[in-house]
Amino acid sequence: MTVGEILEKSEYKIENIDTTRVPCICAVRRASMIHKGVNIGTISEEANDAGEFSWVIKLDWERLEDFPYINIPDVDMSIKKEEYIISNIIPTFVKQRIYTEEGPDLYEKLYQLGLKRKDAFEIMCRTNGELGNDGIYIQRLI
């Protein structure tokens, strides 16, 4: 079962906001976060077969020193943790890079991306994260 199929069951229900990984992860999708050609971190979507999911943001703090103006939502840039985990909701960083539910042409845009349903990770990767306005681009890791 793919992450997309697992998340289709859950439809991104907000049941609890948590900073710990969901248990029994069976699917992971991962992408690089790139700014001005420099890989500054990764963002991953992890899911289990119960429809629960976590997003994990890992930043390369050494490389980010060259870009002090970067601010990533959902990340306390002053603490510099190894990873930031957001469970069972879509992080703001991702929401900035996907089409909104209320968008008038949502299904046409999804069709153009080769998608049949709204899948935050896929939209973010297939648009290279260009819907965000912070100069951070997304490149899927295989």
| CB-based contact 58:16 (threshold 8 Å) | no
Distance in angstroms (rounded) separating the CA atoms of residues 117 and 80: 35
pLDDT tens by residue, 56-73: 999 999 999 999 999 999
* Domain spans in the chain, listed from the N-terminal domain onward: 3-136
**What is the band of 19 on the pLDDT scale with cuts at 50, 70, 90?**
confident
pLDDT (0 to 100) of residue 5: 53
**What is the band of 16 on the pLDDT scale with cuts at 50, 70, 90?**
very low
Whether 31 has a pLDDT exceeding 70, the answer reads yes
